[in-house]
């Protein structure tokens, strides 16, 4: 009898453990975050622009404007803007990521594959942007695990709200399910408008920014994903090669290009350069923006989003007015605020007065 009771007790424990295990699995499956459907409103937008959930997608992000765009391929092979999401948080300053621990959000062209999607993220959902890429490695840049994620908390990542990342994740999942092998992500310091380029013309990163602007221009004129090669420690856009390409070695001869797209890129660059020169002649002063620790889209101002380091977001960046050699002008000058991009109209809109002129040394962030 005692043996029977022991066997019954052991069987009960086994069944209880099995039920617990099943319950844990059910709880994980029932959360359904990574399998949440694309919202009906977004599906309607896809239909409106002539695309489907299975069609390829492309991402463009802008730090200064704190905006995150999803583009979808139409039936004619060209991309159309699907949605612009206000970014809840990004950290650091304008400029590329250089090393581990600098809290910088990277800038450049990156590749996202299905293996980089993380359905079990501690930040609701996330995916790795692919930093460092071959360009970063050729320049000995360090660091990694740069994510787009939820929770609105950033220490070097692109941070969205939980509903935003759930939707973005679902759009990416369906594009991968539709056969897309990799998603291109274009990360920029700001929208490459003539106004922004004129204002940032003396920034130490301007040569790099003009380099990745060439990639932006390829996309703008063709609305197709630009081919990206990295050789001689530079980005080369709109080119293909039948030979192996080494990011640190000279670019191979005989690169293949689309002459029509290249002509349109040259024409656009010439027009943009002319517009910048006109703005400079009209008195647009060079500035440097100094952030306490990154930024946040104005759509979140005064809201209860649980952003990390909210004190760093309270006043936005301070504008440092520069002379023509790039040195800070004496304190006390007042500056107009940089134009805020209106995601609804697609144009820049002027906002109120900017932050007062301040000493650059006093505002330069300490090393991480």
Under 8 Å between Cβ of 166 and 36:
yes
Burial state string for 311-330 with b = 16 or more CB within 10 A and e = fewer than 16: ebbeebbbbbbbeeeeebee
Tell me which residue of 216, 215, 217 sits closest to 229, measured CA to CA. 215
Tokens in use for 109? 């062209």
Looking at 103, 149, 218, 341, which residue is catalytic?
149
Q: Can 152 be counted among the known catalytic residues?
A: no
State CA 26 to chain mean position distance. 34
Looking at 88, 103, 152, 157, which residue is catalytic?
157
Under 8 Å between Cβ of 278 and 226:
no
Q: How far apart are CA 73 and CA 37, in angstroms?
A: 19
Under 8 Å between Cβ of 110 and 187:
yes
Under 8 Å between Cβ of 165 and 178:
no
Q: Can 231 be counted among the known catalytic residues?
A: no
Q: How far apart are CA 302 and CA 248, in angstroms?
A: 47
Tokens in use for 50? 């002539």
Active site residues: 149, 157
């Amino acid at each position: 009898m005692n043996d029977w009771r022991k066997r019954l007790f052991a069987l009960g424990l086994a069944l209880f453990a099995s039920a617990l295990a099943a319950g844990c699995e059910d709880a994980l499956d029932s959360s359904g975050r990574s399998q949440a459907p694309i919202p009906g409103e977004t599906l309607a937008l896809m239909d409106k622009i002539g695309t489907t959930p299975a069609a390829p997608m492309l991402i463009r992000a802008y730090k200064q404007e704190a905006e995150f765009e999803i583009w979808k391929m139409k039936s004619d092979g060209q991309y159309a803007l699907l949605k612009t999401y206000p970014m809840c948080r990004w950290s650091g300053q304008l400029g590329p990521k250089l090393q581990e621990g600098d809290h910088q959000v990277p800038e450049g062209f990156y590749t996202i594959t299905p293996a980089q999607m993380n359905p079990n993220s501690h930040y609701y959902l996330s995916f790795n942007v692919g930093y460092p890429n071959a360009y970063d490695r050729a320049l000995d840049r360090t660091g990694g695990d740069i994510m787009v994620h939820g929770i609105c908390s950033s220490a070097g990542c692109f941070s969205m709200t939980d509903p935003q990342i759930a939707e973005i994740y679902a759009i990416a999942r369906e594009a991968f399910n539709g056969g897309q092998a990799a998603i291109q992500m274009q990360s920029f310091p700001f929208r490459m408008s003539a106004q922004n380029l004129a204002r940032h013309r003396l920034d130490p990163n301007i040569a790099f920014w003009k380099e990745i602007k060439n990639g932006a221009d390829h996309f703008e004129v063709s609305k197709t994903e630009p081919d990206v090669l990295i050789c001689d420690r530079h980005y080369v856009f709109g080119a293909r090669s039948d030979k192996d390409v080494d990011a640190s070695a000279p670019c191979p001869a005989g690169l293949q290009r689309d002459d029509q797209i290249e002509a349109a890129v040259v024409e656009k660059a010439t027009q943009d350069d002319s517009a910048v020169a006109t703005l400079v002649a009209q008195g647009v002063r060079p500035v440097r923006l100094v952030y306490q620790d990154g930024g946040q889209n104005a759509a979140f101002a005064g809201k209860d989003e649980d952003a990390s380091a909210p004190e760093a977001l309270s006043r936005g960046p301070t504008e440092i007015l520069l002379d023509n050699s790039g040195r800070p002008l004496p304190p006390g000058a007042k500056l107009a605020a940089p134009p805020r991009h209106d995601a609804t109209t697609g144009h820049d809109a002027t906002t109120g007065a900017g932050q007062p002129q301040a000493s650059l040394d006093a505002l330069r962030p300490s090393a991480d």
